[in-house]
A and B are shown apart, each in its own frame.
Chain A
């Protein structure tokens, strides 16, 4: 049996992008929640993501890097079609990255400016990512309806990131901020429900390929497990945040776990809709793949590095476990 390298790399790329969306998703979400908090709370919120955001963003480089090196043909097509939203996202990521470092070192109105830029950059990057997702799923088709669809996916992803960010804060903070985070999470949850419902309903209409994939009895019945599981995860977050809100016993990390599950399930649905296309209806992963010799060399590198990577990611999260406090991770 020979290894189907393009499939292996598609899986790796998918994993890297999912890891990015979940990991940077929570810190982008925390960024978007900044205006809802007081100045003291903002410091705690920033401290809660301090040791992680650098590494979180590198997953984006890995995901896009894998697209670039394993599917060079698709990289040009995809990123060429997404030129302007990519630019917007990158500028957003840069602004928030720099604002993150500078807000603590600035004073007076400067600090306010960087706080504002941290929020704005987080929001711009999130919206642009969701917009790109909408464009990507519909194969970059022109027309007002498709743009509107992409804007809705953009708004939905912002809601998802807010949910991730708020549930992250539930686990990482205590006291008043934690209580507020519970409320934010429940708002985010409603937002996500609305967004996912809109996107799920619209997607079969904007893409014939996707429609064919999902409405093909009896397969449809098995596929309905995905939305059903998402609904369970949704209810699980609703219930656990409700218990936490009333001060009853519940695991503080349960809401975050539920949010991650929703993202993973949505991602699985997306992967199912797309496979084996890397550009829907146009380019399959086999057409876009680099030469097998290049893929082999990279696979060796990935096989060596990935276990270490997983190992010290877990290690870093262990080292910085516990409740965040302002200035605790100040450097």
Chain B
């Protein structure tokens, strides 16, 4: 491997590590913010101490997650320049304002009202405290709006024009509401909802394993289960629509997801396979005949374009293929557990211990699905950074392999420590329960 290729790989690994670490926390806090609004409102309505305890406990989890998101988010704002200077030089006139709006409208809304929400309960009137919680939730959601607008534009660019030799926005509405934006945004919001629902349910179950009588934990287990049971099927429908949208705009990504190397009519659905990049075929596969044509075109004999049509600008197949199956697999598991749990917990019956264990095991399942889905969409876009406009290799910076390697090691150690500490503290908090 040449030095440049190695530096590019390290730059991608480092940025990927940072963004993967970062995405864990927003994907939880976006929806957890709305859970908090709900808990706070319930307390306002009922004035029951249990709701207040519940609100306080989950505020702690939220604060910790939010802090992790803030600090890893700061890293992102630097790494755009250090790792991908070509990104801002080429598409900065579009990416810049979207990022700026994210920081302006959302970040400040969150970080400032967060102080009042976390520490101001006894210092401001009740309505203002509720408003702060609401602002934080709106802020996290708006953050996601702008970031996903930018990411979607990188996937399916629209609304840009060339002027004075630079790429600029011709129509901002077309840039923001580009062809894949609405699907991606809803998909991500639902993913966040599911992530938070399983964290709430999972940690509550963890608490109930030691304190089965904890009324607050019983309530939050129920709340998490209900939200998950509602969102999981919705997510499957939206995910399918998102996939059809991808087929239309990024057919190479879908071909990689399905591990279809050749264009054919009546293409099979490859359930499992060992994609062989060098030989451009699957070494082993389990297939459902005509399945891909049926699912993607709703016609068993329809033609599906294979990877051969996109050579050499096609994504690597194996990571996209496997990540997609992990995402779907975890998603199906979440659906099953949420529905079974909702049925088992109906009319206030207590959950059996094995179900509590199952919920505990699924606490961070949303993270796995989010990361897998993110790998599918980002690796599936390669070799492009911005589809058809800018190649990843052309955006890389001048940092040497040694600099990248040293800082990558530093980040890895820091992130491992942070993630370990985070999970220990969160589970510890949950074990102690709301009244602690």
Give chain A's interface residues, CB within 8 Å of chain B: 50-52, 54-55, 57-58, 60-62, 64-70, 72-73, 75-80, 83-84, 86-88, 90-91, 93-95, 97-98, 100-102, 105-106, 290-291, 293-294, 297-298, 301-302, 305, 309, 312-313, 316, 319-320, 329, 331
- Chain B residue nearest to A89 (CB atoms) is B78
Question: In the complex the two chains form, is B104's CB within 8 Å of A93's CB?
Answer: no
| Residues of B with C-beta under 8 A to A62 | 103-104, 107-108
Question: In the complex the two chains form, is A93's CB within 8 Å of B421's CB?
Answer: no
Question: In the complex the two chains form, is A54's CB within 8 Å of B163's CB?
Answer: no
Question: In the complex the two chains form, is B77's CB within 8 Å of A93's CB?
Answer: no
In the complex, whether B81 has a CB less than 8 A from a CB of chain A is: yes
Question: In the complex the two chains form, is B70's CB within 8 Å of A70's CB?
Answer: no
Docked complex: B107-121 residues within 8 A CB-CB of A: 107-108, 111-116, 118-120
Question: In the complex the two chains form, is B70's CB within 8 Å of A291's CB?
Answer: no
CA distance A66 to B100 in the complex (A): 7
Interface size, B (range)? 35 or more
CA distance A106 to B60 in the complex (A): 13
In the complex, whether B278 has a CB less than 8 A from a CB of chain A is: no
| Residues of A with C-beta under 8 A to B93 | 290-291, 293-294
Question: In the complex the two chains form, is B421's CB within 8 Å of A102's CB?
Answer: yes
CA distance A256 to B406 in the complex (A): 39
**Nearest Cβ on chain A to B12's Cβ, whole angstroms:** 16
Which of A79, A90, A93 has the most B CB atoms < 10 Å from its CB? A90
Question: In the complex the two chains form, is A76's CB within 8 Å of B119's CB?
Answer: no
Of B84-92, B306-314, B347-355, B386-394, the one with at least 4 CB within 8 A of chain A = B84-92
**Nearest Cβ on chain B to A30's Cβ, whole angstroms:** 16
- A100-B67, A309-B112 are contacts. A75–B88 as well, Cβ < 8 Å? yes
Question: In the complex the two chains form, is B89's CB within 8 Å of A83's CB?
Answer: no
Question: In the complex the two chains form, is A73's CB within 8 Å of B67's CB?
Answer: no
Of B279-287, B332-340, B396-404, the one with at least 4 CB within 8 A of chain A = B396-404
Of A54, A80, A98, A101, which one neighbours B397 at CB under 8 angstroms?
Answer: A80
Q: Mark B68-98, 1 if CB is under 8 A from A, else 0.
A: 1011111101101110011011001111110
Question: In the complex the two chains form, is A52's CB within 8 Å of B115's CB?
Answer: yes
**Nearest Cβ on chain A to B58's Cβ, whole angstroms:** 11
CA distance A80 to B114 in the complex (A): 33
CA distance A87 to B100 in the complex (A): 22
Give chain B's interface residues, CB within 8 Å of chain A: 56, 59-60, 63-64, 66-68, 70-75, 77-78, 80-82, 85-86, 88-89, 92-97, 99-101, 103-105, 107-108, 111-116, 118-120, 123-124, 163-164, 166, 168-169, 172, 397-399, 403, 406-407, 410-411, 414, 418, 421-422, 425, 428-429
**Nearest Cβ on chain B to A286's Cβ, whole angstroms:** 14
**Nearest Cβ on chain B to A86's Cβ, whole angstroms:** 5
Q: Write 20 A-B pairs (CB below 8 A) sorted by A numbering.
A: A58-B103, A62-B108, A65-B99, A66-B100, A69-B100, A72-B89, A80-B82, A84-B407, A86-B78, A86-B82, A90-B74, A91-B410, A94-B71, A94-B414, A97-B67, A98-B68, A105-B425, A298-B96, A312-B113, A331-B60
- A51-B115, A75-B85 are contacts. A83–B163 as well, Cβ < 8 Å? no
Question: In the complex the two chains form, is B116's CB within 8 Å of A297's CB?
Answer: no
6 nearest CB pairs, A to B = A76-B85, A69-B96, A72-B88, A72-B92, A51-B115, A294-B93
CA distance A94 to B75 in the complex (A): 9
Question: In the complex the two chains form, is A305's CB within 8 Å of B418's CB?
Answer: no
| Residues of A with C-beta under 8 A to B119 | 50-51, 320, 329, 331
Question: In the complex the two chains form, is A309's CB within 8 Å of B108's CB?
Answer: yes
CA distance A9 to B362 in the complex (A): 47
| Residues of B with C-beta under 8 A to A54 | 66-67, 70, 111, 114-115
Question: In the complex the two chains form, is A97's CB within 8 Å of B71's CB?
Answer: yes
- Chain A residue nearest to B64 (CB atoms) is A101
CA distance A302 to B105 in the complex (A): 9
- Chain A residue nearest to B167 (CB atoms) is A291
Question: In the complex the two chains form, is A79's CB within 8 Å of B82's CB?
Answer: yes
Question: In the complex the two chains form, is B71's CB within 8 Å of A61's CB?
Answer: no
Question: In the complex the two chains form, is B105's CB within 8 Å of A87's CB?
Answer: no
Of B71, B82, B108, B414, which one neighbours A83 at CB under 8 angstroms?
Answer: B82
**Nearest Cβ on chain A to B300's Cβ, whole angstroms:** 48
| Residues of A with C-beta under 8 A to B92 | 68-69, 72, 290, 294
- A84-B403, A90-B78, A293-B93 are contacts. A61–B172 as well, Cβ < 8 Å? no
- A57-B74, A297-B169 are contacts. A331–B56 as well, Cβ < 8 Å? yes
CA distance A57 to B114 in the complex (A): 13
CA distance A86 to B68 in the complex (A): 18
**Nearest Cβ on chain A to B209's Cβ, whole angstroms:** 21
CA distance A319 to B56 in the complex (A): 20
**Nearest Cβ on chain A to B404's Cβ, whole angstroms:** 8
- A55-B111, A61-B107 are contacts. A294–B96 as well, Cβ < 8 Å? yes
| Residues of A with C-beta under 8 A to B112 | 55, 309, 312-313, 316
- Chain B residue nearest to A107 (CB atoms) is B428
- A83-B403, A95-B414 are contacts. A102–B123 as well, Cβ < 8 Å? no
Which of A76, A302, A309 has the most B CB atoms < 10 Å from its CB? A76
- A316-B116, A319-B124, A329-B119 are contacts. A76–B88 as well, Cβ < 8 Å? yes
